[in-house]
Amino acid sequence: MLLEQLFATRTHRMKASEIRELLKLLNRPGLLSFAGGIPDPDLFPAAEFSAAFQAALRPQEQAEALQYSISEGYLPLRQWIRGEMARMGVACDVDNILITSGSQQALDYLGKLFLSPNDTALVGWPTYLGALAAFNAYEPRYDQLNPGGNRSPASYREAAAEANSRVKFAYLSPDFSNPTGETLSLTGRETLLDLAEELDCAVIEDGAYQALRYEGEAIPPILALEIARKGSIEDCQTIYCGSFSKTLSPGLRMGWVVAAKPVIAQMVLMKQAADLHSPTLNQMAVHQVAQDCFDQHVAGLRLAYGARRDAMLAALEAFMPDGVSWTRPKGGMFVWLTLPKQVDTAEVLTRALEQENIAFVPGQAFFADGDGCNTLRLSFSVLDEAEIRTGIERLGRLLKQGART
């Protein structure tokens, strides 16, 4: 008997990440990759982490660092996060915070927490494909979230009812979103809170890129806006997911969730069943580095990535053919391109790899309904300004050739 015959039905909705597959190409000689939305390893605070790990393994610290620990997470790290959230307008206690193994684990837990088969999840068109991967395992129905549009709460409710479904949450990354790089306005955030109130559903706020703003004034997190409305995090429907992956290190897999205590308590039970707790040694090191140099380090990231963002936007202006449009992000790591309707960016990627030795992510993977064949995502985080200009020039040349054939 083939064991595949025993797999649960949910496995049919689990698909390989196109980005994970593309990352396997990064060692190709001469490849200029705009594919992976990953930090530049040259910008990691490696010396600071080296010192932090050594400190955590001193005789007086090593027993705690190498032992089992509580599922909620290392208390000093949660206390640091509480202070950071307070700076953003989110008043909470350490008991409102759970440490996760990256924010991706948080999305998986939240899918498990809220979604029964055929429940409705509201997501952007496009949205972060890692969120789709996390939610797909719980067999939801998707509907398009557009806080800036004119769709009424009743239309969401009616569409769900027609499918014998109920809206459980709205998921979005409001600051410099993956994949588009766009930011939801203050008005859009308030509108989303109104929608969640009308639908009696949760809001999952993915703040993975919030610290990486290169221009303009910061907009309060959705959770901060809801606390201002209701007075206490315990009365809020918003769940905030944070991450150290884009600021300090993705390899240590450190993220966090901030939410009302009943939500955290249920997620703690999930963590106890899944992995007991995130690695204590890593938590201690992240706490030490965050405490010592977070603001200074992030300021350096903003300068470096901001210059690369500027280089990409300038190169797109210089080399893209007519009919191509793109977003102009104020932060984050991504620019989103929309090509003429007849262009299939998966086919363009094949030619890009073969003819120009460049890579990007075709946009279709970011759409819950499989749309977006004429879109693509570019990341500017790893290449330097000269490489970005060269790579965009190659992409523009390829697209112009395609337009002539």
Mean pLDDT of the chain: 94
- Output the pLDDT for position 336: 98
pLDDT band at 31; cut points 50, 70, 90: very high
Residue 297: closest CA among 79, 80, 85, 43: 43
User: What pLDDT band is residue 17 in, cutting at 50, 70 and 90?
Assistant: low
Q: What is the pLDDT of residue 3?
A: 84
pLDDT score, position 230 = 97
Q: Which of 12-16, 40-44, 228-232 has the lowest mean pLDDT?
A: 12-16
Burial of 258 (0-12, 13-18, 19+ CB in 10 A): buried
And the tokens for 300?
A: 């350096």
State pLDDT tens for residues 278-299.
Answer: 999 999 999 999 999 999 999 9
Q: What digits encode the pLDDT tens for the residues 338-396?
A: 999 999 999 999 999 999 999 999 999 999 999 999 999 999 999 999 999 999 999 99
pLDDT, tens digit, 9 for 90 and up, residues 305-342 = 999 999 999 999 999 999 999 999 999 999 999 999 99
- For the record, the structure tokens of 222 come out as 């959705």
Report, as an integer, the average pLDDT of 19-46: 83
Contact 333, 37 (CB under 8 A): yes
Q: What is the pLDDT of residue 11?
A: 78
Rounded Cα distance, 311 and 318, in Å? 11
Other Cβ atoms less than 10 A from the Cβ of 72: the count is 20
- What is the band of 23 on the pLDDT scale with cuts at 50, 70, 90? low
The pLDDT, as a whole number, for residue 37 is: 87
Under a CB-based contact definition with an 8 Å cutoff, are residues 360 and 375 in contact?
no
E strand or H helix that includes residue 167: strand 167-172
Answer whether residue 18 shows pLDDT above 90. Answer: no
pLDDT for res 21: 62
State residue 1's pLDDT score.
58
| Coil/strand/helix, residue 237 | coil
Instruction: List beta partners, residue 172.
Output: 205
Eight-class DSSP state of 22: H
With tokens 């905030």, the residue in question is 240
Higher pLDDT, 135 or 16: 135
Residue 86's pLDDT band (cuts 50, 70, 90): very high
